[in-house]
Amino acid sequence: MEVTGRIIAVLPEQGGVSKAGNTWKKQEYVLETHDQYPKKICFQIFGEDKIAQAHIQPGEELTVSFDINSREYQGRWFTNIDAWKVERAVQGQPAADMPTPQDMMSGSPVGAPAATPAAPEFEAGNPVDDLPF
């Protein structure tokens, strides 16, 4: 799922230690949509590296791709909106700041092209420019 809007609040980072002894961090953000009746959506990013990578600031215009997950605890239900990709508008072109699930599975770094472009072809017609540099 996706939503586009402006960040109106960056909530304090939260963290702790799991039962297994691993440290964890998450940060929540509030996005306001540009609909006729604007909605406020609180989403979270889990993981210190992903929080730093997203580097979300108040006032930014973003498109957030997310999953919704609900779980039961002591008879009550809790719902999380977990962001997995954040895109900013840069001169009218969106730029991915967080890896997509496909990037994470392939191991390719963020910002790296999906496929290496083919090497340019050089024509041997001009003897002066026969070197590729």
Specify which residues 28 forms β-bridges with.
44
| CA gap 76, 38 in Å, rounded | 28
pLDDT digits (tens, 9 = 90+) for 73-103: 999 999 999 999 999 966 444 444 445 544 5
Domain contains 128 = no
* Helix residue ranges, H only, 1-133: 48-54, 101-106
Domain contains 132 = no
pLDDT digits (tens, 9 = 90+) for 60-77: 999 999 999 999 999 999
Domain contains 120 = no
Q: What is the CATH number of the domain that holds 45?
A: 2.40.50.140
pTM, full prediction: 0.66
Which residue segment(s) compose the domain that 84 sits in?
A: 2-113
Count up the domains in the chain and report the number. 1
- Compute CA distances 52 → 13, 27, 45, 118, 123, whole Å: 11, 10, 10, 33, 46
| CA gap 34, 41 in Å, rounded | 12
Tokens of 108: 């390719």
Domain contains 66 = yes
